Each structure stands twice: as structure tokens, then as C-alpha cells.
Chains A and B, each alone.
Chain A
Amino acid sequence: MGRAWKFGDNISTDLIAAGRYYHLRSNLPELAKHVLEDARPEFASGVKPGDFVVGGRNFGKGSSREHAPVIIKLAGTRAVLAKSFARIFYRNCINIGLPAVVVDTDRIAEGDDLEIDLERGIVHDRTTGIDLTFPPLPAVMARILDEGGLVEYIKHHGDLVIAGT
């Protein structure tokens, strides 16, 4: 269970991990104190473990900086929900073991109490009683996420092996 923190469309990686904190990239706990600062300044200090980042369209657009999903995860976020994701950000989320889920976030309101069941593909909104379903991840991404991210996947398999390729 966790609280929904709503964000709008087109949340860029600059809004998530601003360029003016570039010098904190090798100090991720410190960088995480500024997560999403230019989008919602109160988020970093208010977020609790298990909360949800809830975006609109094209969440995570812009740069390849993996620091962006890393500090969202470090802040305690359970999952990022959005109507759509930018490509690199989405892949980065899976690689670092942060669930990124495509659902109709218009049906979630700020502050709603949410639960997620990744296996069944359901976001349950405890405030409204609504269940939002989402399609499973592509098989390759599901396996990487299941194993805790790409680092764990590579450590386990010793190589980049993907069934069916």
C-alpha cells in the first residue's frame, strides 16, 4: 500500500534529476534528496517507502541518465505508473528493478491509496475501489525484472542469453 503522487505529462529526466545536481551523480543518496524537485518540490521530503509515482504521457522523456529511475527507486517508490513511457527511461527502470507500468492514470487521483500485483497485472485503488489492469511486460523484460534487474541477471547467467533470439 502506498500513496499516489501525481505528475503531469512529459516529465523529463531533467525534472527528475536536474543538471544543476550533476556533481551528485556519484553520491546517489544525496542526489535522491532532489528527486523530481523541479516538478514537485515537496515530493522528495514527503515520499514514503511503498508510495507510487503516477505520471501521464511520455514519462521520463529526454536523456539516458539511469540516475533518474535510480533515485526514484532510492526514495522508496514501489512503482512508476504512467499512460506511456519514454523508451530509454522504461528500459532503465526494468534494468534497475523498478517496476514501470502502463495504466490509465487518469483514473487515479492525487493521494489515492494504491496496491500493485505485478504477477496478475492489477493496480488496485483502495480509495476508489477501482482495479486497473495492465498487460504483462515483454517476456525478456519480465525475466530481467524477475531476477532483480540486469546486473543480477548477468551475474546469474554469466552472459546475455535470451530465449528465442
Chain B
Amino acid sequence: MPGQTIVEKVLSRASGHPVHAGDITIAKVDLAYVQDGTGPLTFRMMEQMNLVRAANPQRSVVFIDHSSPPPRRELATDHVYLREFAAKTGMVLSDVGQGVCHQVAFEKFVRPWDVVIGADSHSVMGGAMGAFATGMGSTDVAVALSLGKTWLRVPETLKFEVRGTFHPGVYSKDLILRVLGDIKTDGATYKAMEWGGPAWAAMPMTERMVLSNMAIEGGGKCGPQPSDQETKRYLREHGREGDWKEVRPDEDAAYETVHPYDAGDLEPMVARPPQEDNVVPVTDASVKGLRIHQVYLGSCTNARYEDIQVFCDYMKGEKVAQGTRLIVVPASKEAYTRSMKEGLFEILLDAGATIQSPGCGACPGVHLGIPGDGENVLSTTNRNYVGRMGNPAAFTYLASPATAAATAMYGVITDPREVR
């Protein structure tokens, strides 16, 4: 038997016996969560199954983030149901103002070696912690919450090996957009997208999180990454160094394919509508100079303190271009508070930004920045499908916080390397 990939190792531990790609297994779930868009259906399924209980209440979390605070009566009433259900079952409640589920889960709950099941596709972000983290639908998560286990097919692994050095103005968002352009939105369907290599190892955790977050944009089941000294540093920074354990693949692990990338070859990238793999370098004539009506700095992908800091490094002392709106939604209360304390809000407000409370904000199209008919949005989020931001007659372009800042300054898609 060859050695094991990260996902094979983590699922072996959770299954209580060794597993390899292709095996069907039942795994113990270490953390399960829902959000306000998927939670009500999850809980109604638990009621239908006569399983109104949490196997592990302190590791079961109800996040109110997608329509938070609620813009409509129906959504506010969903929140009432979620709060009551959490109280009844002893689940942890992360209410209005706490932030996006994946970000808050990462700060407070996800541990190396965990199996994490979230009722939201971007649950894959937990992979950056050295966990097996995946998104599932409401009924699967109902089972994971109430029984503390789930069934899985152990995925084959695609290995992404990154070497070289990122040029100034180029970030992990540009790397993952480039990868998606290469493998397309179904190139990793049913597979794990594992990361490694010297340029990966040199990335701070907040950059690594982007890579796992967008594994689902390639169709990936999960985006596992090793847990190393940087993982330990992140956990220490969040007051839970005791949760750290090393995770790494075996030297002789069997990969379905290996994809080498050189960070030094990368440029700032833009994903054009209508999907994430429709990418070009920011210098491409189809995007450079394109009029942008709204810049959105938000989401679990790129709205951490570090992203807002990068944005402000560009924006400091500058103004948002006339005719362009800048909306900022920090991903979590931590990102919000730290940005405020360290003076970033002042930079943003002086530039002309509107800052909203932590949560999913404009990303899923519920509120807080739905674009108008015919408008173009440059967004640091993860999806640019038709209708994604709440209007099928608007157009979303995805890019890094640096490209977003350069674009906000000029009101047209702008290469961040030209403004610094």
C-alpha cells in the first residue's frame, strides 16, 4: 500500500481504520455547522427524523450570517426559529454581527485533524487548518449534527505544488484564479485539492485560507493543507495553541495528478462573468480599463483584517473614483474590530467607503449592495454567476483586494502594480 495523502490520513483517523481513495467510510464528525440560509431546512429535517438533538452540542454551531441583520420579515422569522432550536439542543449560536460562518469557525473552532461538515459549500476553507472540511446539503448536515457521523467516499487527491516567490501586487487569490482557469470549474469534482511546496509554506495562514476556500470553485470536495508552524502561530494568535497538531502527507502518498506552479510566473488575475474559471490577467484588453460601478471588499474569501490592510496600503490618502461605490464588509467581528482599532476604518472612510457590519454582506445577493441593471462589480468574493449578487442583469468580476483597491481608485479595472 502506498503512503497516504492528507485527506486519507484525516479520514483514517475519523473512521477508526485505514482508508484510501475510493473507499466508502463512515467518519466521526468533529465539528458541524449550519448558516441561516441552510439551517432552517436542516432543523426541519431533524424534526422529520425525530432527531432533535446534537450529538456534540459544543461542537455544533448555528451561524446567522447570510442575511444578518435580516433585511426582511421572513428572514428575521427564520432567525427566531434558529435561535430557539439552538437553545433547545444546546448548540452554539453565532448571532448577528459575529461574521461569516467559515471565518468564525476557523478563528474559534476548526482544529488540525478535524472532520468538519458545514451546510455551506465554502466550508472547504477549514482545509487550510489541516482538517477534512466539506460542504453538504441540509439533510446530510442534519445527520452529522444529530448522530455525530457522516458517510463519505474517500476522494482521490490532486496535488498543487507551488514554488518561487510572489511578485508585489500578486496574492494567493491570483494563484487560485489561475488554477481555476487551468482546471475549470469541474476539474476537481469529487477530488481533494491538496497544497504544498516552498511558496505555499511561506504563505501566512490568511493567504492559505483563500486556496482552500475556493477549492469548491473547481468542484473540489475539500482543499486540505498541511498543519505546520504557521498553523501553530495562527492558533496561538487566536488563544488556542493547545489545539495545534502537525498534519502532513506521507512522502510516498499517491496523487492522481501533480500540478506544479511557480508563484513568480503569476500576474494579478480577474475572473470575468459568468463563472470563476473565465480568467485573464488584469492586463488583458477585455478587462483592463473596464468601467466598474461598485467595488466590494467582503466575504469568507478575502475580507480578513489582512485583506483590509492590503486594500488600505493602496488606498491610504486616496479617494474612491467619482461614480464608483466602495462597500466593505469585514468577514468577522475580529476583522472588524482589529481594522477599526488599527486605523483602517479611517483610511477607508476618508477614501469614501461604506462599511457594513460583519457577515456575508453583498456576496450571496440578499442585501447590502445588490448592483443595478447593467452595472459592473469588482468583487473580492468567490462566485460571479448570473444573479449571484442578487441581480441577473449585473456583472461580477472577481479579483484580489489589491486589484480591488487599484480599481476603486480609478473606477476602472486597474493593475495594482501600476499604482504602487
Contact = CB atoms under 8 A, between A and B. Distances in A.
Report if A and B associate in a common complex: yes
B180 to A, nearest CB: 12
Interface string A10-37: 1010110011101111110000000000
Nearest to A155: B49
Interface in B142-183: 143, 147, 149-151, 153
B120 A86 contact: no
A23 B74 contact: yes
Interface of A: 10, 12, 14-15, 18-20, 22-27, 38, 57-58, 61-67, 69-70, 84, 86-88, 91-92, 95-96, 138-140, 149-151, 154-155, 159-160, 162, 164-165
Contact of B383 (A62, A65, A151, A162): A62
Given A23-B72, A92-B137, A86 B186 contact: yes
B26 A162 contact: yes
B38 A65 contact: yes
B36 to A, nearest CB: 9
Contacts of B386: 12, 14-15, 38
A64 B135 contact: yes
B41 A19 contact: no
Contacts of B388: 12, 14, 19
B121 A95 contact: no
A149 to B, nearest CB: 7
Closest 8 CB pairs of A and B: A19-B365, A66-B137, A92-B137, A23-B74, A58-B186, A66-B138, A64-B135, A95-B139
B385 A150 contact: no
A164 to B, nearest CB: 7
B151 A162 contact: yes
Contacts of A57: 186
25 contacts: A12-B383, A15-B386, A19-B365, A19-B387, A20-B366, A20-B387, A23-B74, A23-B75, A25-B78, A26-B81, A58-B185, A58-B219, A62-B383, A62-B385, A66-B41, A67-B41, A69-B137, A88-B121, A95-B139, A138-B24, A151-B49, A160-B147, A162-B24, A165-B24, A165-B25
Given A64-B121, A165-B151, A19 B364 contact: yes
A95 B385 contact: no
B119 interface: yes
A91 B366 contact: no
Contacts of B391: 20
Contacts of B364: 19, 22, 63
B198 interface: no
A87 B41 contact: no
A11 to B, nearest CB: 10
A99 to B, nearest CB: 16
Interface of B: 15, 24-26, 37-38, 40-41, 45, 48-51, 66-67, 72-75, 77-78, 81, 118-121, 123, 135-140, 143, 147, 149-151, 153, 185-186, 189-190, 216, 219, 221, 275, 364-366, 370, 383, 385-392
A88 B40 CA distance: 18
A23 to B, nearest CB: 4
Given A61-B219, A91-B136, A140-B151, A19 B389 contact: yes
Contacts of A164: 24
A15 B108 CA distance: 33
Contacts of A65: 37-38, 137
A61 B151 contact: no
Contacts of A19: 364-366, 387-390
Contacts of B135: 63-64, 88
Contacts of A150: 139-140, 143
Nearest to A39: B386
A59 to B, nearest CB: 10
A155 B143 CA distance: 11
A150 B153 CA distance: 16
A69 B391 CA distance: 21
Residue from A38, A64, A149, A160 whose CB has the most chain B CB atoms within 10 Å = A64
Nearest to B153: A138
Given A23-B75, A63-B120, A14 B383 contact: yes
